[in-house]
Amino acid sequence: MPSVLITGATSGFGKAAAQRFAKAGWSLILTGRRVERLKALEEELSKQVPVLTLALDVRDSDAVTDAISNLPETFLPLTCLINNAGLALAPEPAQKVALEDWHTMIDTNITGLVNVTHAALPLLLKTGKGASILNLGSVAGQWPYPGGHVYGASKAFVQQFSYNLRCDLLGTGVRVTDLAPGMAETEFTLVRTKGDQAASDALYRGTTPLQAEDIAEQLYYLATLPAHININRLEIMTVRQAWSAFAVDRDPA
Ligand SMILES: NC(=O)C1=CN([C@@H]2O[C@H](COP(=O)(O)OP(=O)(O)OC[C@H]3O[C@@H](n4cnc5c(N)ncnc54)[C@H](OP(=O)(O)O)[C@@H]3O)[C@@H](O)[C@H]2O)C=CC1
Ligand SMILES: O=CCS(=O)(=O)O
């Protein structure tokens, strides 16, 4: 039975991915900080497949290394790592943002992702052919927009780290993908606005955002491609989102 390690499984893409992989019979290693949600997910999915939940903050490198290097045999070999835990904060212009918010994004989206990758790499290399690392990037890593500042830059890191890993893992059989979604309706905007439900609802109202299940389906597709195929980057948007014109600073009329 293949097994998948999903970071940030307590909400959004991570939770939907856990449900999708469970449906296909994969063993699940699920992580996140919110213990109650992990427990609920374990209760739901352990009726279908073996489930191991790890209450972990991806920023804590010692805890991450310890947990991943001591996985029970039932959850090995590890076939897929989904580096999904992440967040955006402070949609305001850069010059108005608290430094702490920038640090939180860097510590989670960059340091957290490399912590988990470093800990899981020996297991994935042992699996070799057919193993995958699926990294949650974002359209924000490729395309600039106002208020994107450190969030977009952290996702540009995810893209380049994914490509560079591909170079080093050549010949090992381990695949690496930067999956870069656009606007998707999860708790992402609630977190970004520090709990402003009205702002979150307003962003998704009157359009058709991607849903967590759409991304889960892509993750499952990527993890189950024939072993000789590596999709390097997959950018995915709702058909109701696109780019906009360049902004220009003009003198008053
Ligand atoms: N929604 C969107 O529009 C898009 C999202 N993305 C990316 O997809 C990923 C998932 O986002 P999404 O599902 O939308 O958002 P959610 O807010 O719904 O889920 C985020 C998940 O990350 C976990 N997480 C956050 N910080 C930490 C931490 N320090 N340690 C461990 N887990 C953490 C949360 O768990 P807990 O709080 O329990 O720790 C939660 O399970 C993120 O990397 C995001 O940047 C990319 C493109 C578009
Ligand atoms: O990564 C999230 C999508 S967006 O808010 O940057 O468009």
* Contact call for residues 210 and 190 (beta carbons, < 8 A): no
What single letter denotes the amino acid at residue 240?
Answer: R
Q: Which CATH class is domain 1-234?
A: alpha beta
What would the pLDDT profile of 30-75 be if each residue is shown by its tens digit?
A: 999 999 999 999 999 999 999 999 999 999 999 999 999 999 999 9
Tokens 């992989």 sit on residue:
21
Per-residue b/e over 195-227, b at no fewer than 16 CB within 10 Å? eeeeebeebeeeeebbbbebbbebbbebbbeee
Q: Which atom of ligand 2 is nearest to the CA of 188?
A: 2
Tokens 């780019």 sit on residue:
243
Alpha-helical runs (H) found in the chain: 12-23, 35-45, 61-69, 99-105, 113-127, 149-169, 188-192, 197-204, 212-223
What would the pLDDT profile of 121-158 be if each residue is shown by its tens digit?
A: 999 999 999 999 999 999 999 999 999 999 999 999 99
Residue 145 annotated among the catalytic residues of the structure: no
- pLDDT band for position 243 (cuts 50, 70, 90): very high
* Distance from Cα 2 to the centre of ligand 1, integer Å: 24
Q: Which value does ipTM take for this structure?
A: 0.99
Instruction: Please tell me if the CB atom of residue 182 comes closer than 6 angstroms to any atom of ligand 2.
Output: yes
Instruction: Please tell me if the CB atom of residue 159 comes closer than 6 angstroms to any atom of ligand 1.
Output: no
Ligand 1 pocket mutation pick from 10, 38, 87, 116 by most atoms within 8 angstroms of CB: 87
Cα gap 143→62, rounded to integer Å: 34
pLDDT in the model for residue 194: 97
Tell me which DSSP letter residue 79 carries: E
Instruction: Please tell me if the CB atom of residue 140 comes closer than 6 angstroms to any atom of ligand 2.
Output: yes
What would the pLDDT profile of 93-130 be if each residue is shown by its tens digit?
A: 999 999 999 999 999 999 999 999 999 999 999 999 99
* Distance from Cα 19 to the centre of ligand 2, integer Å: 23
* Contact call for residues 60 and 108 (beta carbons, < 8 A): no
Q: Where are the domains of the chain?
A: 1-234
Instruction: Please tell me if the CB atom of residue 138 comes closer than 6 angstroms to any atom of ligand 2.
Output: yes
